[in-house]
Amino acid sequence: MRESRDEKRKRVGRILRGLARSYPEATCALRHSNELELLVATILSAQCTDQRVNLVTRELFAKYRTAEDYAAADPKELEREIHSAGFFRNKTKSILGAARRILQAYGGRVPERMEELVTLPGVARKTANVLLGTWFKKNEGVVVDTHVFRIARRLRLSAGREPEKVERDLMALFPRSDWTSAAHRLIWHGRRVCRARNPDCAGCPLRRECPSAGEAGAG
């Protein structure tokens, strides 16, 4: 039976309340103490676990403290230092390119506007949303990583096949004030309960609101 717009909005409200009850302390799992560290960590997190990134950045952040430090880094040395995060050549190019762009265009400071952030090498909308929501406390969009993408489709909040479409759908459904917090909570939910394989539908706090609950593979 097709869900009406009003019914969907009421269900979304229950989903957001359920997430808030289950994950009240949810936040970004990437360790950082400033916006530059969060930028570098987010670039490193592509196709890599947050746990691995945090291991890599523990020593990286002790050595490289400013955009100038990264811009002056030896590429081969940086490649070795981030090797275990995977795709180390491309990530090195992105980090060095972003640092140089920050120096040349933004006076050495990470910009805090979407249209400026996406001009940095290695920074697309998802990374920009992480920076804006987590560090700058600006709700400009919804972070759609693999967890958010999967759960949004399982909950039938979006049928989008691209992250950009899923993000637009979630932005239309979620109150703007919840864009950042909801994304953090969905990510925690995806790691702990609504896993890609063998989701724990029986123990899921959202099971009553999930059309996919109990399905093989949960959609």
Spell out the domains of the chain, with CATH numbers in brackets. Answer: 5-26+142-213 (1.10.1670.10), 35-135 (1.10.340.30)
H helix and E strand count, the chain: 11, 0
Across residues 193-216, what is the average pLDDT?
92
Backbone phi and psi for residue 67, each to the nearest 5 degrees, phi listed first: -60, -35
Catalytic center residues = 126, 145
Report whether 143 contacts 136 (CB < 8 A): no
pLDDT of residue 2: 82
Q: Using a cut of 0.85, tell me whether the model's pTM lies above it.
A: yes
Structure confidence by residue, pLDDT tens digits, 65-118: 999 999 999 999 999 999 999 999 999 999 999 999 999 999 999 999 999 999
> What mean pLDDT do residues 124-147 have?
97
CA contacts within 13 A on the Cβ side of 7: 6
Look at the block and give the residue holding tokens 């709700």: 139
Residues 137, 125: Cα–Cα separation, whole Å? 16
Confidence at 218, pLDDT banded by 50, 70, 90: very low
- With 0-12 CB in 10 A as exposed, 13-18 as middle and 19+ as buried, what is 129? buried
Residue 219 has pLDDT above 70, yes or no: no
| Distance from the Cα of residue 51 to its chain's centroid | 14
Cα–Cα distance for residue pair 110/120, rounded to 1 Å = 9
Residue written as token pair 């959609």: 219
- What residues have CB less than 8 Å from 123, skipping those under 6 apart? 39, 43, 94, 98, 117
| Mean pLDDT, residues 15-32 | 97
Please give the structure tokens belonging to residue 187. 């990510």
162 band by pLDDT with thresholds 50, 70 and 90:
very high
pLDDT value of residue 215 = 77
Range 174-192 average pLDDT: 97
pLDDT at 1: 65
What's 34's DSSP letter?
S
| 172: CB partners within 8 A, 6+ apart | none
Contact 129, 142 (CB under 8 A): yes
pLDDT above 90 covers what percent of the chain? 95
Q: Mean pLDDT over all residues of the chain?
A: 96
Q: What span, in angstroms and rounded, lies between the C-alpha atoms of 209 and 155?
A: 7
Average pLDDT over residues 149-162: 97
